[in-house]
Amino acid sequence: MIKANEYHKYIFFPLALFYWGIVFWRNLFYNLNFFVIQKISCKVISIGNISVGGTGKTPTVIYLASLLVKLGIKVSILSRGYGRDTKGLLLVSSGEGTLVNNWKHCGDESYMMAKKLNNVPILVDENRRRGSLYLVKKFNPEIIIMDDGFQHRALGRDLDIVLINGGDRVNDHKLLPYGILREPWYNIKRADVIVVTKKKPDPLLQRKLKETSLPIFETRVTPIIRYSSPTSTKKVMGNDNVYLASGLGNPEFFRTTVEHMGFNVCGVKNFPDHYFYKKNDLLNIEKKAKEKGASHILTTEKDWLKIKELSPTFPFGIVDMKIRILNEETLLQMIGLKSYLDLSHSPSEDHSYES
């Protein structure tokens, strides 16, 4: 009798072979210039990944945009707007707050970026070339940051940054659906920079990263908690029982971060990435949190966008994950900003740690 895992191999093998063929021929046509890569009049920095799951793209885009704005650089952000209920070109922000009245129109991550960033126009468009030309014409940026751009090759870029989750297991570095890779590992050679996020990689992954011969940057994470009610007098304290609820590509990192901050995780409810919460989901989460004796439910900013629409009654804490790439001077030199190296800021040391 065929075992379940062997049965899955028979099912997945033709799917993986078909997917590999699409990826191979598409990249080959780009490499041979059968598909045109369009360059535009400003610098383009792509921040993407080679795997599925959470690698911290959105916090990294926010970090880099904030850094460049602080240095006096005109920056715009271009995203496809994953999970939105609209199509085509949509301006999310002109740099002065959101221009859309609901996150569903532009995607949760783009909406969150628009809420957090000032002086940074944000546009979503599945056609990256069209979107970039619109940003150049309307805002004349010096740099466009392309969110989740590694696989989108039609738009040329001046720096390709690929994020790798330091918690990845080398055994999982197989092509979908067997593993977590969106394209074969050897394609990482297209990148200019690797940024390791989440945690320090184990020795096997460290060796695999070094074998790429690409510059490797480490990161530091600083989690900050805010509350569902600005007037709330009840704050979550160290050693408090907290219940976690999130829809993330990498929920384990969220839990580890909360534990690192000193809280006691008494229960967890994980949903799929970009999950669209329903009222019954919230009621069940609040019921479980009460049963477990939690003082607060902790969630992420991306999840809170959707949960708050359901009018929660239980105290919530929203964990904001701030990321910083270490050795910023070298990064800025690679971007071509050698004249902007007077960095006066430093990360908060409270609850921050190197990933």
pLDDT in the model for residue 2: 45
pLDDT in the model for residue 18: 81
pLDDT in the model for residue 237: 66
Cβ 334 vs Cβ 215: under 8 Å: yes
Buried/exposed 167-189: b ≥16 CB within 10 Å, e otherwise: bbeeeebebbebbbbbbebebbe
pLDDT in the model for residue 350: 43
Q: What is the DSSP string of 254-317?
A: HHHHHHHTT-EEEEEEEE-TT----HHHHHHHHHHHHHTT-SEEEEEHHHHHHHGGG---S-EE
In the chain (355 residues long), the average pLDDT of successive 10-residue segments reads 50 76 89 91 96 90 96 96 93 94 94 94 96 97 97 95 95 88 95 95 96 96 83 64 93 92 94 94 97 95 94 94 92 84 48 49
Asked if CATH classification 2.30.30 holds for the domain at 222-322, the reply, yes or no, is no
Candidates 129, 125, 134; CA nearest to 86 is 125
pLDDT in the model for residue 230: 58
pLDDT in the model for residue 246: 96
pLDDT in the model for residue 245: 97
pLDDT in the model for residue 229: 67
How do beta strands 122-124 and 90-93 pair?
A: antiparallel
In terms of CATH, what superfamily is 43-218+326-354?
A: P-loop containing nucleotide triphosphate hydrolases (3.40.50.300)
pLDDT in the model for residue 228: 78
pTM for this entry: 0.88
